[in-house]
Structure 1
Amino acid sequence: MSVAERTHLIGLISDTHGLVRPSVFDALAGVQLILHAGDVGGRDVLVELEAIAPVLAVFGNTDEPDHPGLETERVHTVGGVSIHVSHGHELGRPTPAALLAAYPQDVLVYGHTHRQLITRAEGRLVVNPGAAGPRRFDLVPSVARLTIRDGAPDVELVPLT
């Protein structure tokens, strides 16, 4: 098996709130899958993202309950690494400790707070890619790139312009 077959690249995005910035296409170029952690803001967002790669998305607290293609949570395994995606609002105030206590997967992806975060704990990874949509608060819009190489996950935040 070649190194390329053992390396997986996944785009992480959240809180688009109906906006796909043009810079998302460069930031997520080359990913094999996109995981959207909620507050999508409409089907058009998913259609635009699907031009980059297949998309698995979850409901956020602002998404319509009958939004097609959204689940309450997603559990997906890539390269031997289990990944849990939810918006985080289901825990009230999502924190790494709350997510680690609630979900057993190797990588936990969430949104809701709009704040970028990467935490490693107990041999696991907790990631909030930040908000990719309309700028709110004093936060720089961002996404993240999750790389799984030989069964080991690593992540980097990518600011959007």
Structure 2
Amino acid sequence: MRIGLISDTHGLLRPEALAFLHGCEHIVHGGDIGDTAILEALAAIAPLTAVRGNNDRDAWAEAVPETALIELGGVRLYAIHDLAQLDIDPVAAGVRVVVSGHSHRPRAEERDGVLYLNPGSAGPRRFRLPISAAELKIDGGMVTPRIVELLNG
């Protein structure tokens, strides 16, 4: 199973991000979405789970949860925009993957059997940070992350 991970679009859904996410069986957006049109475009590709970011303040965002716990391919994932606000113990909750955003820094790190995965920012460039997204492949309980830089330079 291939899960697409995207975050911090801030109202900009790049064609490179759409191309990367095409063919995913599920998409998780880690917050700072920016516009309902982004959710609609992503949901047209695959089933979508999205969480609200600190910049998602307009009326439409009230319907977007701050966190989401889902199970895909037999693996529990927990999504939250800002990892510093993590409000559960992933190990105790049986969560294998925590997906976040906020920092705009792509990162995959495993601690205590939990994979913490931030796909980075796919929206407007911030400082010199890369424009990126990620995928998570789930096969028989094994999870394999891959972060992809969408634009060079």
TM-score (norm 2): 0.89
Distance in 1 of aligned mates of 2:88 and 2:30? 18
Residue 69 of structure 1: CA displacement?
Answer: 4.3
Distance in 1 of aligned mates of 2:58 and 2:98? 23
Residue 121 of structure 1: CA displacement?
Answer: 1.6
62, 67, 77: which is aligned to 1:73? Answer: 67
Distance in 1 of aligned mates of 2:76 and 2:58? 26
Aligned to 1:39: 32
Corresponding pairs, count: 147
2:24 is equivalent to residue 24 of structure 1? no
Structure 2 runs not aligned, ≥5 long:
none
106, 126, 136: which is aligned to 1:146? Answer: 136
Distance in 1 of aligned mates of 2:147 and 2:18? 15
SS at match of 2:104: coil
For the 8 Å contact 2:135–2:146, the answer to whether it is kept is yes
2:42 is equivalent to residue 10 of structure 1? no
Structure 1 runs not aligned, ≥5 long:
1-7, 92-98
Identity %: 41
TM-score (norm 1): 0.85
AA partner of residue 47 (structure 2):
P
SS at match of 1:155: strand
Aligned to 1:110: 100
**Greater CA deviation, 115-124 or 9-18?**
115-124
For the 8 Å contact 2:78–2:97, the answer to whether it is kept is yes
SS at match of 1:46: helix
